[in-house]
Chain A
Amino acid sequence: MAKLIGKTALILSTETTLSRSVMDEIEKAGADVAILDVPESSEVAWDRELLSPGRTQAGMDVIINMCIPDTGGAIGAVTLADFRNILKISYVRTWLALKYGIQALRASGGGSFINITSVAGRHGSAGAAARCAASHGIELMTRSAALECAGKQDNVRVNALLVGDVISGYHDTYAPGHVSPKDVASAVKHLASDAAAYITGLIMPVDNGGGLSS
């Protein structure tokens, strides 16, 4: 089933169980993959990290951006500074990742950009206004970026996964809204592959039916 053979992939994330699982899955599919954490939110830093001559020469086919925002907490209990910081490290960081990541993919003749954010923005969630605002913002940012790339016909596709609660470890059953890291990794693998060449601007919940009413 290996179908990412010869592809170079970059995961923009800190080391987490989820990013590790995604890395293992796409590595198994044949990709050459690295994890990169860009802690800064300046354009200079992202330009340096994603568009350095070394990086461009190595080529870039798949970029996976982990951008699951913190919940923030209840309105009234969250300060503007905290709210803004959540937007900065998820929403604004995603904008920077898109801006420089798309250019990196374009420089190697095209590729697949995948945002991984929270499904929270789809339904609203108590105590998670910051997460909802950031993730729903990322959803529309993804769609807009997909249309910009499609309009240029530059062979860059942009899609997003909206993940539910990612539960690590082995479980026999998963409640609605709960998924495993492997579920997310499998969806990434599919969207990263050439078999998904016609899919762009897709916003795909990976949430075990969590968004459905009961």
Chain B
Amino acid sequence: MNATVSQAASVASLEGKIALITGATSTFGIGRISARSMAMAGAYIFVTGRDPAKGADVVAEIAADGGKAAFLRLDVTIEEEWAQAMEVVRQKFGRLDILVNNAGNTNSTPIEEMPLETVWYMIHLNIEGAFLGQTYAWPLLKKSGGVILDINSGAGQRGAPGGTAYRSSKGGLLGLSRAAAVDGRRHGIRVISVHPGLTWTSGMERVRGRAHYDRDVLNVPLGRGAESADVAAALVYLASDDAQHITGIEYNIDGGSSAR
């Protein structure tokens, strides 16, 4: 059985915490489901993404659950938008407790067919997006001894054919997360690299499709895929005070895939 949103929300209390989640507007992506779960666990959520209409939907959904949230337009690859978003957070609360660097994209083109542009695109989105988040959130996280949850992937821990742009960018993100964990230690900022395995999300539906996904499931030791709520449950725990001395680790939610 996969976890549900209400199960994820009951993992730990996030009462009084302020969170910002990137890439949180996809219909059933990890970002949106985590935003709902964290809000139900008591956190105030800055739902961010590129599409204000979709963002408004997520905020309304959270409000309907009895939670608190606001939408901020944020393309994670644009530095000015990070500066603006963090200025809004600073003016409203003066601090940030939880940053979830979730926005990202995937690719599986063989190297001989891959244009250099794709390599740069993956760097801009998957590595620099998180780097900018860490950089601009840092002063606000320092005030609260906050936590950064970098959403990586099993793909960031293992190579595979077609991975020279996507997997390498996730590998780069893992290095960034580890370094930030070291830097964060003296400020009380925790940094955790989160590695979901095969997860049925809006992005998965768009990029891979159900037929591919169903075939990929056969390679998961547990014999089934994750739902976004399985990842959200882990994020609620890792963001909470229950995990106050957990930092610098790789956290796999993958049905045993990384055990091999």
Interface status of A33 (Cβ within 8 A of chain B): no
A155 to B25, CA, bound (A): 33
Give A153's nearest chain B residue, CB to CB. B223
Interface status of A121 (Cβ within 8 A of chain B): no
B221-260 contacts to A (CB < 8 Å): 221-223, 226, 230, 233-234, 237, 242-249, 251-260
Interface status of B201 (Cβ within 8 A of chain A): no
- B9-43 to A contact mask, C-beta < 8 Å, 1/0: 01111000000000000000000000000000000
Give A211's nearest chain B residue, CB to CB. B248
Give B182's nearest chain A residue, CB to CB. A212
Q: What is the total of A-B residue contacts with beta carbons within 8 Å?
A: 125
A202/B242 contact (C-beta < 8 A), A150-B221, A151-B221, A195-B8 known: no
| Count of interface residues, chain A, beta-carbon cutoff 8 Å | 40
The reply to whether A153 and B222 form a contact with Cβ atoms under 8 Å apart is: yes
When distances are taken between beta carbons in the complex, the residues of chain A under 8 Å from B190 are 209
A116 to B233, CA, bound (A): 21
A150/B248 contact (C-beta < 8 A), A194-B7, A195-B7 known: no
| B6 to A: closest C-beta gap in Å | 10
A98-153 contacts to B (CB < 8 Å): 142-144, 146-147, 150-151, 153
Interface status of B2 (Cβ within 8 A of chain A): yes
Interface status of B185 (Cβ within 8 A of chain A): yes
Interface status of B178 (Cβ within 8 A of chain A): yes
| B83 to A: closest C-beta gap in Å | 29
The reply to whether A186 and B242 form a contact with Cβ atoms under 8 Å apart is: yes
The reply to whether A187 and B259 form a contact with Cβ atoms under 8 Å apart is: no
Interface status of B3 (Cβ within 8 A of chain A): yes
When distances are taken between beta carbons in the complex, the residues of chain B under 8 Å from A176 are 185
In this complex, the interface size class of chain B, counting residues with CB under 8 Å from chain A, is 35 or more
Interface status of B181 (Cβ within 8 A of chain A): yes
Give B238's nearest chain A residue, CB to CB. A190
When distances are taken between beta carbons in the complex, the residues of chain B under 8 Å from A179 are 245
When distances are taken between beta carbons in the complex, the residues of chain B under 8 Å from A193 are 11
Give A164's nearest chain B residue, CB to CB. B245
A205 to B193, CA, bound (A): 12
When distances are taken between beta carbons in the complex, the residues of chain B under 8 Å from A1 are 10-13
When distances are taken between beta carbons in the complex, the residues of chain B under 8 Å from A207 are 245
Interface status of B53 (Cβ within 8 A of chain A): no
The reply to whether A200 and B256 form a contact with Cβ atoms under 8 Å apart is: yes
A130 to B4, CA, bound (A): 42
A10 to B21, CA, bound (A): 38
Which residue, of B12, B182, B242, has the highest number of chain A Cβ atoms within 10 A? B242
When distances are taken between beta carbons in the complex, the residues of chain A under 8 Å from B255 are 150, 198, 200
Nearest 7 pairs of A and B residues by beta carbon: A201-B259, A150-B221, A186-B242, A143-B259, A195-B233, A198-B230, A208-B245
Which residues from chain B sit less than 8 Å from chain A, CB to CB? 1-3, 7-8, 10-13, 178, 181-182, 185, 190, 197, 221-223, 226, 230, 233-234, 237, 242-249, 251-260
In the complex, 9 of the A-B residue pairs with CB atoms within 8 angstroms, ordered by the A residue number, are: A147-B221, A150-B223, A151-B221, A186-B242, A196-B3, A199-B253, A201-B256, A205-B248, A211-B248
Which residues from chain A sit less than 8 Å from chain B, CB to CB? 1, 3, 142-144, 146-147, 150-151, 153, 174, 176, 178-180, 183, 186-187, 189-190, 193-202, 204-209, 211-214
Q: List 14 additional A-B contacts (Cβ < 8 Å) besides A198-B222, A209-B185.
A: A147-B260, A150-B255, A187-B246, A193-B11, A195-B233, A196-B233, A198-B226, A198-B230, A198-B253, A199-B253, A200-B221, A208-B247, A212-B182, A212-B185
